[in-house]
Amino acid sequence: MKTVIITLVILITFFIGAVIFQQYVENSCKTLLAHIERLDESILAENWEEAENNIQDLRKEWEQKKKIWEVVLEHYDLDAIEIAITKIERYTEVNEKIMTLGEIVQLKFLIRHVSDRESFRLSNLL
């Protein structure tokens, strides 16, 4: 009986931790996507000074999130996000609108992909 109780406590603790982390990742993704949207709008308006500020804000936010995500998430996904942000920074520096917008679309996809992969769905559990 003692073994069953200990096993249940461990399982419950695991699931509670997983739910909390999943919520954290989802909220983090929403925050990052909001920064990306602001950046996207400034690029579309060709407001390069504002875009520089927005990419700096995005970079700061990403560096904070990345520290926690590295512990649990796939490094391949994190590397892809890092590469996309770095490309966006460079394209923004040289005022390259088309390439920047293309990378922004890719970055949005990568962030949404992380959120989808970490959500509790039957397809993710199997």
**69-111 per-position pLDDT tens digit:** 998 888 899 999 999 999 999 999 999 999 999 999 999 999 9
Q: Please report where in the chains the tokens 């996904």 appear, as a residue.
A: 77
DSSP state of 119: S
Residue 10 placed within a domain: no
Total of domains in the chain: 1
Query: What predicted TM-score, i.e. pTM, was given to this entire model?
Result: 0.85
| pLDDT at 118 (0 to 100) | 76
pLDDT tens-digit series, residues 50-62: 999 999 999 999 9
Residue 4 placed within a domain: no
**CATH number of the CATH domain containing 96:** 1.20.120.290
- Give the residue numbers spanning the domain of 54: 25-125
Q: Residue 78 corresponds to which amino acid?
A: L
C-alpha–C-alpha distance, residues 89 and 99, integer Å:
11
- Is residue 122 scored above 70 in pLDDT? no
Q: Residue 94 corresponds to which amino acid?
A: V
C-alpha–C-alpha distance, residues 85 and 80, integer Å:
9
Q: With b meaning 16 or more CB within 10 Å and e meaning fewer, what string describes 55-92? A: beebbebbeebeeebeeebeeebbebbbebbebbbebb
Residue 56 placed within a domain: yes
